[in-house]
Structure 1
């Protein structure tokens, strides 16, 4: 029998109802989450309070699959205001224990509580003087015995058909870590602006941090003429700068009016002689303008509400630039 025939026969022998098996995994892990939810008690509350009062760092460690979960927990905590990082227990055995100080909190995650790399660093963590929080599914494990504070999961089944591979256990570890991070963020009074500060490249960060002065057209890129300028010269300036708006200022660089490409089209339909007119004759004398410290997202909303594509930017009564809809959309900000 050739290899293809062997593989085909193997596949036939292991045909399964994929939807039923998948739903079983969901049901098993949801059941595990519910069991852990009901098991939350004052021990968990004490852990949250302990971390919220930590004067040092929060260090999360785990090996294997719980290690991947630990790395995610540390990242979520950091993004929600708890200074935290992941420590690989194997690297800790070779010098990275120096990252831990006496005023730190170490959260060690091991479902069995007996992972070799974890149990080998426990004595040193105690010698350093850091507070150890153990999270495990084994009340009698070395991890729990060493821990100053602990949370032990109730008994549940792994979603793995052999009840061996970390499936339900890693799911509940992840959810427990999320619960810690979210509760801590609320204790700190962590708000959207704080979140944006730690996520400047994200869409929320951009909306809450980027101001019009950060993206405005200014200096030689800004289209500006003085009052009394001939309309033909203003049109040349508008064409050269290609930002769709001319700002008209007085000798003190104070904004007097604006003239847009839309205004130009309307002017030309009147069959006027652009050589005879001054910008003073056609400009909008009560233009909408904004301060340079306005958030870009607010400027975008204002332009959308007023059906305009550009706004002059003024600071201390002086024209400093222009911002366009495309400038804001170009940095990834959308209403």
Structure 2
């Protein structure tokens, strides 16, 4: 085993132990921190310097994306005007492993003067920051993964993990669900799946490959070719879906007529269409349309309104273009 692999495994073991040790510290103080942060009417303001600042920025982002409005404020910038971002309706989550970071301590008097609730995460329960906090969470580690025991490694990992624990615990308490998450991530894959409806991606008007039962197979082939969806939807005069005729149905018709003369202009859809058509409503999530196609092993669907009138059509390519499939 190389020296790199040896050190890498040792680092991961130390950091894993640091996180495991936190489990025993999930107690009433953790409950109090969650209730304090959930109880504010505005936002959670996360502060921290150096590596704690980088971790704090990520914690703030995780809180915000899981239903707890939050943002990060750099404590050094706070002393030069950014303290105006913190209001009495907010709560502050302060990170400092030593609990004695000058830039963080410098703004504590202002925070306390505004009666802003303060949760501190430190590695020293006897530190100034820990004693000034309304709730203190202990993130101390036995040692850093750094061989010199100097660079924040295990301690920053523990801080990040406890921040995630806070976010997830509050997410659960709020009843935050996948749809809520999607609203915070509309540009992501999950957001598209949970916020895109069939009406958003279906083809409409002249793009719908549509015919009547009296349409000849010759004309049907033309409609199917122009539509490029692999099927034609058969409707009555009220635009109710009566059935479908697919390219597979066309192949089967041609195979039956193999060896003989075929006059497609003398054959009409009523004699060859599938009467039991699978349809989907326009208000259905596109992800459900995908699931329906996979279960039924079909590649296209007629889309209907609440009165079961045909309003659109979609196929697997439309779902792929929309990023659903």
TM-score (norm 1): 0.89
Q: Aligned-pair distance for 1:216?
A: 1.0
Partner of 1:329: 320
Instruction: Give the secondary structure class of the aligned counterpart of 1:133.
Output: strand
CA–CA distance in 2 between the matches of 1:39 and 1:286?
61
Residue 303, structure 1, aligned to residue 293, structure 2: yes
Aligned counterpart in structure 1 of residue 273 of structure 2, from 283, 305, 312: 283
TM-score (norm 2): 0.92
Partner of 1:3: none
Could you list the per-position Cα deviations for residues 39-72 of structure 1 after superposition, in whole angstroms to 9, with x for gaps in the alignment? 3322122111211222221111111101110011
Q: Aligned-pair distance for 1:229?
A: 2.2
What do you get for the CA RMSD once the two structures are aligned? 1.8
Residue 169, structure 1, aligned to residue 155, structure 2: yes
Q: Contact between 1:101 and 1:129, CA under 8 Å: does it hold in 2?
A: no
Matches within 5 A, 1:227-246: 227-246=213-232
Partner of 1:226: 212
Partner of 1:91: 77
CA–CA distance in 2 between the matches of 1:155 and 1:262?
66
Aligned counterpart in structure 1 of residue 112 of structure 2, from 101, 126, 141: 126
Partner of 1:153: 139
Q: Contact between 1:100 and 1:128, CA under 8 Å: does it hold in 2?
A: no
Count of residues in correspondence between the two structures: 319
Q: Aligned-pair distance for 1:269?
A: 2.3
Cα–Cα, structure 1 residues 293 and 141, in superposed 2: closer, same or farther, change >3 Å? same
Aligned counterpart in structure 1 of residue 51 of structure 2, from 65, 76, 100: 65
Cα–Cα, structure 1 residues 155 and 259, in superposed 2: closer, same or farther, change >3 Å? closer
Structure 2 unaligned residues grouped into runs of 5+: none
Q: Aligned-pair distance for 1:188?
A: 0.9
Moved over 4 A (4+): none
Q: Aligned-pair distance for 1:155?
A: 5.1
Residue 56, structure 1, aligned to residue 35, structure 2: no
Structure 1 unaligned residues grouped into runs of 5+: 1-15
